[in-house]
């Protein structure tokens, strides 16, 4: 017989004595997974804004930027070396900040609040009056800074198959752990959800971009704020 006690321990009772026990994994909390799902959707929105609307650079996926930088160094492709470097440096700065916050025991929710604040500044630039100069490099830097912080915070949580920004390992897991490969399809629904959410985020971002760059960035800010609100219903502290 299973009995759940207040500290989250699952005890197995057999003939009146405990034979085994285990702790619930906090990474499987539905509220945390819901927050990460929202952040995955927001990533699609942000990369749609940066790749399609800001000089063809990624601000969430640095693998693409490293490749684009290589292209730019030999004057190939549409992105410039300066744009790629700005995104890379800002992303590293954000990731450093995220790591520092986690090492100080700052909660995941608090780190998300900082990310939302940075995204809000980027969105505000998009809503500035038409007479105000638009600095694409500043917006690239702000988005990359926010996503660096985002990646570091999510990485510290170490939730399997919910990285929120990259899908390479998720797609690899879908195939390598599938029944066709002799596997048992672990976390199949979670993996499929991550792929679908990223796709929908990118699609939505591309559609919103038709109305202007400010729309997908604003939408990403609102979605990230929603993730923050969901996460706030439960105390989640990244591993140091």
For 3-11, the CB contacts below 8 A with 24+ separation are: none
What pLDDT is attached to residue 104? 94
Measure the CA–CA gap between 200 and 18, rounded to whole angstroms: 47
Task: With beta carbons less than 8 A apart as the criterion, state whether 81 and 67 touch.
Answer: no
- Of the candidate ranges 68-82, 106-120, 143-157, the one whose mean pLDDT is the lowest: 68-82
Give per-residue pLDDT as tens, 123-178: 999 887 765 556 889 999 999 999 999 999 999 999 999 999 999 999 999 999 99
Which residues are bridge partners to 12 per DSSP?
Answer: 2, 20
Q: Residue 6 above 50 pLDDT?
A: no
What pLDDT is attached to residue 77? 84
Which token pair is 111? 């780190």
Rounded (10°) angle between helices 30-53 and 136-157: 150
More confident of the two residues 49 and 132: 49
Average pLDDT, the chain: 87
Q: Residue 202 above 80 pLDDT?
A: yes
What pLDDT is attached to residue 134? 63
Ordered by where they begin, the domains of the chain are: 29-231 (1.20.1250)
Q: Residue 23 above 90 pLDDT?
A: no
What pLDDT is attached to residue 17? 47
Q: Where are the beta strands (DSSP E) in the chain?
A: 2-4, 9-14, 17-23
Measure the CA–CA gap between 217 and 42, rounded to whole angstroms: 9
């Amino acid at each position: 017989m299973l009995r759940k006690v207040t500290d989250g321990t699952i005890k197995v009772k057999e003939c009146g004595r405990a034979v085994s026990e285990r702790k619930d994994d906090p990474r499987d909390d539905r509220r945390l997974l819901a927050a990460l799902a929202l952040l995955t959707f927001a990533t699609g929105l942000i990369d749609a804004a940066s790749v399609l609307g800001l000089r063809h650079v990624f601000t969430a996926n640095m693998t693409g930027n490293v490749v684009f930088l290589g292209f730019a160094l030999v004057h190939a492709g549409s992105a410039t070396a300066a744009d790629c470097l700005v995104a890379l440096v800002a992303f590293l700065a954000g990731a450093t900040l995220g790591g520092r916050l986690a090492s100080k025991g700052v909660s995941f929710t608090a780190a998300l609040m900082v990310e939302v604040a940075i995204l809000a500044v980027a969105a505000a630039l998009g809503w500035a009056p038409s007479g105000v100069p638009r600095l694409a490099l500043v917006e690239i830097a702000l988005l990359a800074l926010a996503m660096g912080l985002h990646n570091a915070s999510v990485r510290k949580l170490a939730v399997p198959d919910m990285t929120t920004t990259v899908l390479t390992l998720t797609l690899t897991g879908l195939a390598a752990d599938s029944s066709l490969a002799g596997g048992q399809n672990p976390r199949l629904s979670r993996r499929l959800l991550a792929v679908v959410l990223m796709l929908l985020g990118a699609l939505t971002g591309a559609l919103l971009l038709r109305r202007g760059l400010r729309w997908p960035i604003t939408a990403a800010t609102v979605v990230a704020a929603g993730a923050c609100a969901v996460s706030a219903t439960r105390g989640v502290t990244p591993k140091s």
